[in-house]
Structure 1
Amino acid sequence: MKKRALAALGAAAMLVLSGCSVTSTGAGGNDGGSTETKDITVGVSMPTQTSERWIADGDAVKAGLEEAGYDVDLQYASDDIPTQSQQIDQMITEGADLLIVAAIDGTALSSQLDAAAAADIPVIAYDRLIRDSEHVDFYVTFDNYEVGVQQATSLLVGLGILKADGSEGDATGPFNIELFAGSLDDNNAHFFWKGAMDTLQPYLDSKVLNVPSGQMTIEQAAILRWQQETAQKRMEDILTASYGNGTPLHGVLSPYDGLSRGIITALQGTGLGTTIADGLPVVTGQDAEIASIALIDQGVQFASIFKDTRKLAEQSIKTATAILEGDEPEANDTETYDNGVKVVPSYLLTSDIVYKDTIVPLLVDSGYWTAEEVASGQAE
C-alpha cells in the first residue's frame, strides 16, 4: 500500500515548491501572519483499516501532506462512530489547523464540526459527505452518481445486454438479478444506488430484467457498514427463499468489492459455478481491491469500478493547501452535494470500469497494482 501512497507524492511536492511558508487566515486559531509550513498540523480521520482502499487513502494523504511540508495526525477509527468522534475531538483539542475527514456515519459528527468551527478549523469532507452541518468547508470525492451508473452498466455488459463500448448487445433476456446497496449512513451509498437504478430501471420496466426476491428498495438492499459477512448472509438467504425451485440467477449488482466477495462465496457455496464460464452469475463491484482484481482476472468476479485514490489524495492536498494559504479552492461542482444544511462546494473526480481486458491498461500500466499482485491477489 505504501507504493500507491508514494505515487501521490510527485504532484503533492509541486504544491509547495519553496517549502518555506504559508500565510494563514485564521485556520486553527492562527493570527493571520506568516508561519512556517512545518508548524501547521492537518488532522486526517479515516474510517477503518479493514479495507485496503482506506489504508491506501490514509497513506497517500499523509505522505502527500508531509511532502508538502505539513505535520499530519492520521487516525483510523475501526468503523466505530464513538472512536472517530473521540479522535476528531482530540485533533481539535491538540490544535489541528485543518481537518480532512472520511466519515463512518455522515450524520454523526455535528458536534465535532461545531467544535472545529468554534476553533476556526476548516473541514474538508473526504469522499464521504458530512451531513447536517454548516461547517463543512469543502468536499473532495468522485462523481458518485456516475459510479452507480458504471456499476449498473458493467452488470448490463456482463449479461450481454450492452457491449463494453455502450452499444446494444445481442442478449435480450429475460435475466434474473439481485440488488445490493451500501450502508445507509454513508451518503455515497445513496448516490451509487440512484445512478445504478436510474440505469437499470428501463430494463426492469420492460421485463428484460427481473428481481425474483422482490427486494428493490435501498432499505432492503443495504448492507450496514459495508460488511462482507453481512452481504454473504443476505445472498444466502435470498438464494434459499427465491431460488430453491430452480429459478436461475444471472447477475448481482454489488456496489463494493468486499460485498462482492461475500456474495461470490454465497453463490459458489450453493453450487452456482466457480467461474462465470461455468455458470457463476455476473457480479459487479467497486474500489479495484486487489483480491477482487485477481478474481476478475480469473473470471470469477466480472467487474469493479476503479476510483484512483492517488488522484483523490492529490486533490485533497491541493484543496487543503489552498485553504491554508487563504485562497479559494478549485471546485467543479457547486450544485449537487446538499448536506441538508448547505450545498457544499465540491471537486468531483472521474472513475473507470475495470473488466478483465482493462486490468493492464488501467491498473498495471498506471502503477496502481503490479502484474505480480494481480496474479497473487495480494498487495506487496
Structure 2
Amino acid sequence: MKFRKFLAAGAGAAVAISLAACSGGGAGSSTEESASGGAGGGAAEGGTVGVAMPTETSERWIADGDAVKAGLEEAGFEVDLQYAADDIPTQQQQIDNMITNGVKALIVASIDGTTLSGQLEAAAAAGIPIIAYDRLINETENVDFYVSFDNFEVGVQQATSLLVGLGVLDAEGNETGDEGPYNIELFAGSPDDNNAGFFFNGAMSVLQPYLDSGVLVVPSGQTDFDTVATLRWLQETAQKRMEDILTSTYVGTDKKVDGVLSPYDGLSRGILTALEQTGGYPVAIADGMPIVTGQDAEIASVKLIADGTQFATIFKDTRKLADQSVTAAISYLNGEEPEANNTTDYDNGVKVVPSYLLESDIVYADNIQSLLVDSGYWTEEEVASGQAS
C-alpha cells in the first residue's frame, strides 16, 4: 500500500520532530540526544527493538507492523518484527525469543492481554521496557506504557454513526425528533481484547437511552457483551451469528433489520454478506440495506462505503499510533519517561498504566476524500478498486 512508502520515508522525520519539540518528560530535547544512546542505550549503540503483532489476517496489523518497523529503523534501531497468526503460544514463544536475543525494548500488540505475564516478568527482570500497543496488557505490573486511541470514544463514534444512518441524529449529531422504532442488532469485539469492552461500553453509553425510550429495539434480545462478543474478531464468526439471528428472529416474519452496530470492518463485511445472502436485503443502503457501522477504515470497507453498501467506519490513523510508540520507546532508551496524556483510565487489574491516547474520526461516504485520500492514507485508485496497491 502506498502510504507505507510514505511512512518509511517520513516516520523517522516525524519522530525527530516530536523529539525536538519535547523537553523534560518527553522523548528527548534533540535528535542528536536521541541518537546518542542516553541512559538506556540508543541508536548509536545499535540494538534491537522487539515488535510483537497479533496477526497478518487484518490489513491494519500489517500496516501497523510496517509503520512501527519503519519508524524504529529510521531512528537507528534494528527491529525484530513478528506476527503470531492469532495464536497465543506462538506470541509467547516469539516474545521469549526476543528477550533471549537481548532486545532493548518491547512493543507488544497482544492477542490476549492476560496471557503474557511470564514473558513480561522475564522482560522486566532483564530491564526491558514494555510498551503495550493499541491493546492493553492486563493482570501484570510489568507493563510500562500504553499507546492507543481513546477507545471509549471510538465506541461513542460507532454508535453515533449508527444513529446518523438511521436518521435519529443529523450529520452534526443533533437529535432529529425521529422516534423510530428501529430494529438493531449488536456486535462486539473479541472478549480477550481489552479494547473490545471499551468500544462496546462507549457505544452503549450512546445507545442505551434510545433503547430505554423505545426508539431502538433489539428483536433478538441479545444485548449483553458476553453474548454479542466475537472471538478473535473473525469475519466468519460474525457472519454465522448474523445468519443465525436472521433465521431465528427475522426470516418469515414482517420484522426487518434497520441497523447493526459492528465494531470492526472485517466483522462488518461478514454481517453485510449475511444480510444479503440470508436476509435477502439489497446491496445498496438506498435500496434497503441496513445501516452497518465499522472500524479501521480497511480499504475493502472504504470501497463499500463509497459504493453505498456499508454506512460508516472509524478511522484510527495508525501512522500516528506508530509514531507515538516509537517516541515512547526512544524515551525509555534515553532513560526518560514518555509523555502521557492519560494517567487515570487504563487500569489493567494490577496498576493504572500511563497512556498516550490519540483521536479518531468517523468516515462517511462524503468525507472519504478529505480524511483518507487527502491525508495520503489511501489513494483514489485504491478506494475505487477496494484493494491496496
In the alignment, does 2:63 pair up with 1:56? yes
Partner of 2:143: 136
Cα distance in structure 2, aligned partners of 1:38 and 1:176? 60
Letter in 1 for 2:38: T
**Of 14-23 and 58-67, the range deviating more from structure 2:** 14-23
Question: Please, what is the CA RMSD of the aligned residues?
Answer: 1.3
Partner of 1:21: 36
Q: CA deviation at 1:21?
A: 1.7
* Contact 1:107–1:131, Cα closer than 8 Å, also in 2: yes
Partner of 2:232: 225
Letter in 2 for 1:147: V
* Contact 1:4–1:310, Cα closer than 8 Å, also in 2: no
Q: CA deviation at 1:124?
A: 0.2
Q: CA deviation at 1:301?
A: 0.2
DSSP-derived class of the 1:8 partner? helix
Partner of 1:67: 74
Letter in 2 for 1:201: Q
Pick one of 356, 360, 365 that aligns with 2:369: 360
* Contact 2:72–2:78, Cα closer than 8 Å, also in 1: yes
In the alignment, does 2:217 pair up with 1:210? yes
Cα distance in structure 1, aligned partners of 2:186 and 2:42? 52
Cα distance in structure 2, aligned partners of 1:35 and 1:220? 47
- What pairs with 1:112-151 in structure 2 (closer than 5 Å)? 112-151=119-158
Partner of 1:254: 262
Q: CA deviation at 1:248?
A: 1.1
| 1:38/1:59 CA distance change after superposition, 3 Å | farther
DSSP-derived class of the 1:182 partner? coil
Runs of 5+ unmatched residues, structure 2: 20-29
- Which structure is higher in RCO with an 8 Å CA cutoff and minimum separation 6? 2
DSSP-derived class of the 2:31 partner? coil
Partner of 2:85: 78
* Contact 2:35–2:75, Cα closer than 8 Å, also in 1: no
Runs of 5+ unmatched residues, structure 1: 26-33
Moved over 6 A (4+): none
Partner of 2:344: 335
What's the TM-score once normalised by structure 1's chain length?
0.96
Q: CA deviation at 1:35?
A: 5.9
Letter in 2 for 1:17: T
DSSP-derived class of the 1:44 partner? strand
Cα distance in structure 2, aligned partners of 1:293 and 1:141? 22
Deviations 1:48-93 (A, max 9, x none): 1110000000000000000011111100111110000000000000
DSSP-derived class of the 1:141 partner? strand
Partner of 1:263: 271
Deviations 1:196-237 (A, max 9, x none): 001100000000000000000011101000000000000000
Cα distance in structure 1, aligned partners of 2:155 and 2:255? 27
What's the TM-score once normalised by structure 2's chain length?
0.93
DSSP-derived class of the 1:277 partner? helix
Deviations 1:333-364 (A, max 9, x none): 00000000000000000000000001000000
